[in-house]
Amino acid sequence: MRARTATIGDLEIVFHDLSKRMSEEYAAAGKDAKIAYDNLMMNLKEGRAHALVKDDRAVAIIAWHEHSDAAVTSFAAQEEFFTAATVRFCKRHLRQIQQLAGNLPIHSNGWFDRPEVTRWFRIIGYVQVGHRNGATLFELPPA
């Protein structure tokens, strides 16, 4: 797996076969796939989105924007993204994003209390710091 600057085509590919778990996360957040797509598109146009590529095909998009004293992530993925290998890749890649965002803490939301999601965040280096707007707030402290 590798990361590169995301394109509109990458976003369309990921959303064409969006994983069910992502659709459920968006619904739990009070959004639908269209709103999530638009949010990612805005970050993409501002140069703050990466395509996560497997076998030369985008399988996920991660975007970020600075808000107050942290970088906040947005995410979309196809089902094939969710493997142990991608967790290891994301551990390194999120540190790269953190550097691009000025070494700010990274904030990510989890809308479901799923043990595998909490474990995934913990492996990457996040700590659970509370709740915000009905979601569990995870923070990746600066390196």
pLDDT, tens only, 25-65: 999 999 999 999 999 999 999 999 999 999 999 999 999 99
Strands (E), 6-141: 49-54, 57-67, 70-77, 106-110, 127-132, 135-140
Domain residues of the chain, as ranges?
Answer: 2-140
Greatest Cα pair distance, the chain, in angstroms, is 37
CA distances (Å), 99 to each of 32, 123, 140, in order? 30, 19, 12
Provide the pLDDT for residue 122: 93
Provide the pLDDT for residue 116: 85
**pTM exceeds 0.75 for this model:** yes
- To which residue do tokens 């990457």 refer? 124
Q: How far apart are CA 66 and CA 107, in angstroms?
A: 10
CB-CB neighbours of 29 under 10 Å:
15
Q: How far apart are CA 126 and CA 124, in angstroms?
A: 6
Residue 112 gets which letter from DSSP?
Answer: S
CATH class of 2-140: alpha beta
H or E element at residue 5: strand 2-5
Provide the pLDDT for residue 38: 97
